[in-house]
Amino acid sequence: MTALSMARSTALLWAPQAWVGGRWRERVLLTIGDSGHWAGVAPDTPAPEGAEVLPGPALPGLVDAHSHAFQRAFVGLAERRDSAHDDFWSWRDRMYGVALRITPEQLRDVAAHLYTELLAGGYTQVCEFHYLQHAEDGARYADPAAMSHALADAAADAGIGLTLLPVLYERAGFAQPALRADQRRFATTAADVLALQGAVRRPLINAGVAVHSLRAARPESIRALAEASDGPLHIHVAEQTAEVDDCRAATGLRPIEWLAQHTPMDARWQLVHATHSTPAEIDAVAARGAGVVICPATEANLGDGLADLPGWLAAGVPLSVGSDSQVVRGWPEELRWFEYGQRLALRQRNVAAKPGEEPATAARLFERVRGGGGTAAGFARWGFEPGARADLLLLDRQDAALRGLPMSHALDGLVFAAPARPFSRVMVAGRWRALHDERIAARFEATMQALWPTA
C-alpha cells in the first residue's frame, strides 16, 4: 500500500496549540474538507466530540522550494580532496558522473527515498528543479516525460506534494553556444519545457517552469518562456562569483541586474540562491515582487558564500528555503544555517530578528519561508488558513531537546536546540503519511550499490 492510498484522516482535528497567523494559538480546531484542504481554522475552541485530539502542538508543513532529487545519490561521495583546488565547479564535474548514468527506474528509487526523508524533515511539498531529461546517450526517450514520470511516481510512493519545474537548458556558458558532452541529458528548448510543464497531471502534482541560469539559456528563449508559461518560474542566479564575473564580461551587467532590466520579472519569479547581490539589486527584486530561494546548507557545502539575509529581510522580499543538493533534508537545520552563517560573518547574534516587532529569530524566519515557499510552489494559500491544503506537522514535545521549554519558545527550540526527531507525525492533504518505508529504503540501497559498485 503506497502512502497515497492510506485512508483519509478524520474530518476534525483538535490541537492544544497550533501556529496560526504567525504565532502560537491555544485550543485550535482544524476542519478538513473533502478536497483535502482546510475548511476551517478556529482557535480558542473546545475539542468537540468526534475530533481527533492531537497529543502535541501543530505546525504547518513547509515547502522545499529547490530540489535536485537525483543528487541524493551523490550525498557523502564528494567530501574528499584529490587535487590542489576544489570548489563548486570541480564538485559539479564530479556530480555529472551520477547525472550521466542514472536511469528512470533508479531515479524513482532515489527520489522516493529522498521524499520520505523530506517528509520526516518537515517538508510537505517539494519543488523539483528538473533538468535531467534524456537517456544516458543524450537521445530522447520514447516518452519525453519519462524522467518526470519517475519523479511523480516517487512523490506518490512517499505521499509528498510535488511542483515539477522542467528546466530550459541550451548552452554551456555565455560564450559557448552548445552544451558540453557531459551535459547531453539536459538539452531543452523553450518549446520542450512548455510541453513538459503539462505532461504530468496527477493528484498532489502541479507544475511551473525553470531556467537553469543566465549562462545556460539565450535571452530570447528566457523571455519566450516567461511570456508563454503560467505558474512559478525559477532560475539559478548569482550563486558563484565566477558566474557574476562571466555575466558582467558578457553583458556588462551583474546577473540579478540583467534580469531586472531585460525580463518581465514579477511575483511568479523565484531567484534561486541570489548569493551575490548588491543593495540596488535587492531593491529591484523587491520592486518587482519576485521571491528568493536560499539553500543555506548546500551553499555552505559548495563554498558558494553567504546571501545578504539582512538585506532581503529588510526589503520585504518573499523568501523560501531549499534542500538543493540534499546534504541536509530538514528545514529546522536549514533555518539554523540561515542564521548561523550570518552570525559567523557579522559576529552578532539573532541577526534575523526584528527587535520590537519580530524579536524571535526562529519565528520570523519560519513565517517568511512559510509564505514565500507557498508562492514558490504555486499556491495562493499555505499554512493553517481556510482554503490552504491540509498539511500538518505534529511536534514531538517529548524529544529530549524540547522537553522543559515553555511553549512560547518551542519554535526557538525546534530550530536552535536541534531535536533529533522533532516531528512525530506528518499530514499531507488531510492524510497522515509514513515517515519511513522499508521497501523504499531497500530499493534506494540497491540502487546506490548499482550506481557505485566500487566507490
Nearest Cα neighbor of 158 from 2, 377, 347, 382 is 2
Which stretch of DSSP H or E encloses residue 31?
Answer: strand 23-32
pLDDT of residue 87: 85
Ranges of residues in the chain with a pLDDT under 70 are: 1-10, 455
pLDDT of residue 245: 97
Q: Each residue of 344-388: pLDDT tens digit?
A: 999 999 999 999 999 999 999 999 999 999 999 999 999 999 999
pLDDT of residue 10: 63
CATH number for the domain whose boundaries are 3-60+390-438: 2.30.40.10
For residues 33 and 63, what is the distance between their CA atoms, to the nearest angstrom? 21
pLDDT of residue 294: 98
Q: Are 70 and 98 spatial neighbours (Cβ–Cβ below 8 Å)? A: yes
Q: Are 70 and 107 spatial neighbours (Cβ–Cβ below 8 Å)? A: yes
Catalytic (active-site) positions: 273, 324
pLDDT of residue 5: 39
Q: Angle between the 219-228 and 190-197 helix axes, to the nearest 10 degrees?
A: 30
pLDDT of residue 89: 80
Grid cell digits, residue 105: 527506474
DSSP state of 178: S
Q: Are 151 and 164 spatial neighbours (Cβ–Cβ below 8 Å)? A: yes
Q: Each residue of 6-34: pLDDT tens digit?
A: 445 469 999 999 999 999 999 999 999 99
What values do phi and psi take at 170, rounded to 5?
-115, -25
Fold match flag (3-60+390-438 vs 62-376):
no
Distances (CA, A) of 205 to 4, 68, 164, 346, 425: 12, 16, 7, 41, 22
Listed by start position, the domains of the chain span 3-60+390-438, 62-376
CATH number for the domain whose boundaries are 62-376: 3.20.20.140
Q: Are 219 and 264 spatial neighbours (Cβ–Cβ below 8 Å)? A: no
pLDDT of residue 454: 78
Residue 358 neighbours by CB distance under 10 Å: 16
Question: Which residues 6+ apart lie within 8 Å of 11 measured at CB?
Answer: 31, 32, 33
